[in-house]
Amino acid sequence: MSVDGYLDDTSPDRLLLSNSDDFDRVDEVRASCDAILIGATTLRKDNPRLLVNSAARRAQRASAGRPEYPLKVTVTASGDLSSGLKFWHHGGEKLVVTVDGAVEKFRATLGDLADVVAVGPELDWGLVLDELGRRGVRRLMVEGGGTIHTQLMAADLADELHLAVAPLLVGQAGAPKFLGSADYSGGSTARMRLLEARAIGDVVLLRYAPKERS
């Protein structure tokens, strides 16, 4: 995020906040995970591929008996996702997690580009994570956007937070922020535990444990 807490600006082009060394760090984290999750709004706006870019890291996954790419997951209740997005056409398996009544719409739009599953009448994050667990996901990387970050943090469902702070200001009220307003159920003043603070070029990586885990 920017120093003033934004994930992007209001222009139609994606604002690159990280540098090449931090992008490589993100690639390393992706390679360590069983799945990568992104919200539908970010998927539509940024049109990412969400790949492990390093051939060596993909080879290490394969040599360990794992898929070359982590499972790619998007979560949405609205159902408005184009089949032309890069997400569907690169990498390995894809999964759409949605609500009752939207499955057939997605299957008609996406065909065999992705598996589609409903978790109930609304997107309950506990049920979403249970579904991923049933599919063998033990380590999940959530790449955004701000709405999903906020929901998972408010529900105390994040085990670790990686916050890369870029040395620039966005200063646009309509731009997406890292976290929005939410009911944190009295936990908004709880201090996180700092796991690491590291300079990566001109970016600072802060790793936090939002809550002590047993």
Please tell me whether the overall predicted TM-score, pTM, comes out greater than 0.85 for this model. yes
Please report the pLDDT score of residue 188 as a whole number: 60
Helix (H) or strand (E) holding 117: strand 115-118
pLDDT bracket for residue 180 (50, 70, 90): confident
Query: What is the mean predicted confidence (pLDDT) over 81-92?
Result: 95
Task: Extract the tokens encoding 151.
Answer: 């929901």
Q: What is the pLDDT of residues 11-22, one digit of tens each?
A: 988 899 999 999
**In this structure, CATH architecture of domain 20-209:** 3-Layer(aba) Sandwich (3.40)
pLDDT bracket for residue 190 (50, 70, 90): confident
Q: What is the pLDDT of residues 12-58, one digit of tens each?
A: 888 999 999 999 999 999 999 999 999 999 999 889 999 999 999 99
Please report the pLDDT score of residue 47 as a whole number: 92
Say which residue, 155 or 31, is predicted with more confidence: 31
Determine if the peptide bond prior to 145 is cis (ω within 30°): yes
Please report the pLDDT score of residue 62 as a whole number: 98
Start-to-end CA distance of the chain, whole Å, equals 29
Please report the pLDDT score of residue 206 as a whole number: 97
Please report the pLDDT score of residue 33 as a whole number: 98
pLDDT at 187 over 70: no
CA dihedral 171, 12, 42, 158 (to 10 degrees): -20
Query: What is the mean predicted confidence (pLDDT) over 126-154?
Result: 94
Whole-number mean pLDDT of the chain?
A: 92
Residue 38: helix, strand or coil by DSSP? strand
- Domain spans in the chain, listed from the N-terminal domain onward: 20-209
- 64/62 Cα distance (integer angstroms): 5
pLDDT at 214 over 60: no
